[in-house]
Structure 1
């Protein structure tokens, strides 16, 4: 995975997946796929309600099921995404929030405006480009300090494993 920070408040991530663009896109748009890869290793989506359309909401809960993760074991992390734009097979734009079990945004936590672009490459591969925009450099630094880079790396590793199994 390639990562870089642009304009102090935008994190850009890129990775090539050995799977067709339609399959990688589908992994982001269907609950039955998200349940198998979203979140770092040792975490499971125990709730995954998705209304995949502009204006729709994805509300989810990641729970740490790995006893080896110490204090994180049993911890729940709720999130909520509101979809702004969807171009089938090509692009997904959403705002991602930390939330509670009822879907209320968590106060004091940064939100991220995420733009995912799915680029078809030769040989049936897909380049995923993820642009995460934050309100401030401090908000971006806060999620980095929370371990987001390790989490997204493990999450995308799990995505690569899922699409390999599905193709």
Structure 2
């Protein structure tokens, strides 16, 4: 993981023992997203998925584990939040980018931030590089980074277990 204060971006990389097409399906189908997208202690249900530039992904993330429920309640955040992303680039199976609407943070005006996902063959596997815009402050950037790193670890577990859409 690299946080670059100069460009105000965060980059996380993982290598998985699978094909670019498999990673693509996990990242771009409702079943795939629901199998790994949420951080530990949360679940995700996809409501809309229109995979094209300008198309939208909307999903509801819900805290389900006692620790996450306590954290959300203690931070004054709802247990469930609907998230919306708008696709910018859709280049099967190599690149996906989208803006995310941060409209759930108490006391902060809603804003969009960009995420770029690059999926590249590497050796016998696939290298996934996720580059995200930093959020409005250091605390939320760290939360974003920890959450996305956990999600990529979950993606690895789904791949290793042979789960998700084939």
TM-score (norm: length of structure 2): 0.82
Task: Answer yes or no: is the 8 Å Cα contact 1:78–1:98 preserved in 2.
Answer: no
Whole-angstrom distance in 2 between the partners of 1:71 and 1:139: 20
Provide the aligned C-alpha RMSD in A: 2.3
User: Partner of 1:128 in structure 2?
Assistant: 128
Q: Give unpaired runs (5+ residues) of structure 1.
A: 101-105
Q: Stretches of 4+ moved more than 4 A in 1?
A: none
The 5 Å alignment of 1:75-114 reads 75-99=79-103, 108-114=109-115
Whole-angstrom distance in 2 between the partners of 1:140 and 1:119: 31
Matched residues, number:
156
TM-score (norm: length of structure 1): 0.81
The 5 Å alignment of 1:49-88 reads 49-69=48-68, 70-72=70-72, 75-88=79-92
Task: Answer yes or no: is the 8 Å Cα contact 1:35–1:48 preserved in 2.
Answer: no
User: Partner of 1:7 in structure 2?
Assistant: 6
Task: Answer yes or no: is the 8 Å Cα contact 2:52–2:90 preserved in 1.
Answer: yes
